[in-house]
């Protein structure tokens, strides 16, 4: 009997309910230092840590690390973390929070930064001036230049905070009104400016960085956080071949793979990559999958590699959703279960956490529980190898 047939017969292996809160921003503010498309709530990994690991100190992996939600929550819950992602941007988002500086250190560092110098002109200026006032852009470019020479924890955190303030829809951002969660094209922003009758105004970036950092660190950092984070591992590999992670070294996996035909990680982050001086040569390797069969093959290879790095009897949790293919609703948890055949992983249970829709899901035309939901479908496997 196939895993999928077994799943349909054993409905006691499927639990539906609200296992963690659907409310926004209930977790530690450090998670919200920067936005990132398709990031799951910190309460999701925390639920499974408590459900499967208890109070034992374990090594937790996220092979699709994204903005670092799993790694940071693992450290907050008293576990060690392995953060992997093929995107160098993801590595910065996670590693810049391995060591959290104090507000005194951040303030002191900001005070030493001279952002008033004349900045070198570049080919990007014409595009960027659709978003920023020329004097704001000068400060941003000066900050970029200083960060290349200063890799202190305080400077890394300042760069992370500045990254979160680059563009958005309020006066707290460096840019004129635009979309906050991903970078639209310069041409789209130019049309947006004309439609709204707006032009970029000057915005001091130091004060905005300081204000954002104060909010993010308002609760302080638990005293044990750095005890665990100092032993984190950060790797920059494909989930299909995580060569930087030793065989049988991971106790637990919580992850969410790239969305099927939904998120273009290359285009959405072009401004963040520019700000961090990340080249675009890596983008050809980032998976943007348009067919269910192609996505399933990618998931199968990733599950097999996860099995390699996991200890025997360790558990893996993969969060997916539903998608519409024409007029057909496809449950991706069924696809994941089917893809697990022959990987060394055995399906144990599926949790379906139901919740109200977010603004982002509505942007994706997800309108009701029959037409693709905003539920988290979390498939749990046990490693047999």
Contact call for residues 259 and 332 (beta carbons, < 8 A)? no
Burial of 141 (0-12, 13-18, 19+ CB in 10 A): buried
206 burial via Cβ count (<10 Å: 0-12, 13-18, 19+): middle
Q: Strands 250-255 and 233-235: what pairing?
A: unpaired
Q: Model-level pTM greater than 0.85?
A: yes
Q: At what angle do helices 43-52 and 69-76 cross, to 10 degrees?
A: 50
Domain map (residue ranges) of the chain: 3-99+224-383, 103-216
Distance of CA 105 to the CA centre of its chain: 26
Q: How many CB atoms lie within 10 A of CB 286?
A: 15
In the prediction, which pLDDT does 263 show?
59
Rounded to whole angstroms, how far apart are CA atoms 360 and 38? 9
pLDDT at 307: 98
- What is residue 279's predicted lDDT score, i.e. its pLDDT? 79
Task: Using 70 as the pLDDT threshold, list the residues of the chain that sit under it.
Answer: 1-11, 22-25, 37-38, 260-266, 280-290, 324-325, 355-375
Q: What is the pLDDT of residue 1?
A: 39
* Alpha helical stretches, state H, the chain: 3-9, 43-52, 69-76, 88-95, 103-112, 125-128, 134-149, 153-165, 186-196, 205-216, 225-229, 265-268, 270-275, 292-309, 332-339, 359-363
What integer pLDDT is reported at residue 285 of this predicted model?
Answer: 53
CB neighbour burial string for 164-194, b if at least 16 within 10 angstroms, e if fewer? bbbbbeeeebbbbbbbbebbbebeebeebbe
What top-level class would CATH report for the domain 3-99+224-383? Answer: alpha beta
**Bridge partner residues of 319 (DSSP):** 378
**What's phi and psi for 378, nearest 5 deg?**
-110, 115
Predicted pLDDT at 25: 60
Provide the pLDDT for residue 362. 40
Indicate the helix (H) or strand (E) that contains 197: none
Closest CA to 336 of 353, 323, 325: 323
């Amino acid at each position: 009997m196939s895993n999928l047939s077994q799943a349909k017969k054993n409905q006691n292996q499927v639990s539906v309910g609200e296992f963690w809160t659907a409310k926004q921003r209930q977790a530690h503010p450090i998670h919200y230092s920067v936005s990132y498309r398709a990031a799951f709530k910190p309460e999701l990994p925390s639920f499974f840590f408590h459900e499967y690991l208890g109070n034992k100190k374990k090594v937790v992996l996220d092979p699709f690390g994204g903005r670092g939600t799993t790694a940071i929550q693992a450290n907050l819950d008293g576990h060690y973390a392995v953060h992997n992602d093929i995107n160098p941007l993801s590595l910065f988002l996670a590693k810049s929070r391995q060591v959290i500086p104090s507000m005194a250190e951040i303030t002191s560092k900001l005070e030493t930064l001279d952002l008033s110098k004349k900045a070198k002109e570049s080919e990007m200026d014409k595009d960027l001036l659709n978003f920023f006032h020329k004097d704001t852009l000068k400060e941003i470019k000066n900050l970029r230049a200083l960060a290349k020479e200063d890799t202190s924890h305080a400077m890394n955190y300042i760069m992370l905070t500045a990254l979160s303030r680059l563009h958005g829809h309020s006066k707290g951002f460096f840019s004129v009104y635009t979309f906050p969660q991903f970078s639209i094209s310069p041409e789209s922003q130019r049309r947006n400016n004309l439609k709204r009758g707006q032009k970029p105004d000057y915005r001091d970036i130091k004060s905005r960085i300081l204000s954002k950092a104060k909010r993010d660190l308002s609760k302080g950092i638990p005293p044990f956080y750095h005890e665990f984070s100092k032993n984190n591992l950060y790797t920059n590999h494909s989930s299909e071949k995580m060569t930087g992670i030793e065989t049988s070294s991971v106790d637990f996996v919580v992850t969410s793979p790239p969305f099927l035909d939904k998120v273009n990680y290359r285009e959405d982050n072009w401004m963040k990559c520019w700000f961090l001086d990340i080249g675009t040569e890596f983008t050809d390797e980032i998976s943007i999958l348009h067919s269910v069969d192609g996505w399933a093959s990618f998931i199968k290879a990733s599950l097999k590699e996860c099995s390699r790095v996991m200890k025997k009897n360790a558990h893996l949790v993969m969060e997916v959703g539903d998608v519409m293919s024409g007029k057909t609703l496809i449950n991706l948890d069924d696809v994941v279960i089917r893809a697990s055949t022959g990987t060394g992983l055995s399906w144990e249970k599926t949790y379906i956490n139901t919740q109200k829709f977010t603004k982002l899901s509505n942007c994706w035309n997800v309108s009701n529980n029959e037409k693709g939901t905003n539920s988290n479908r979390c498939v749990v496997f046990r490693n047999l190898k």
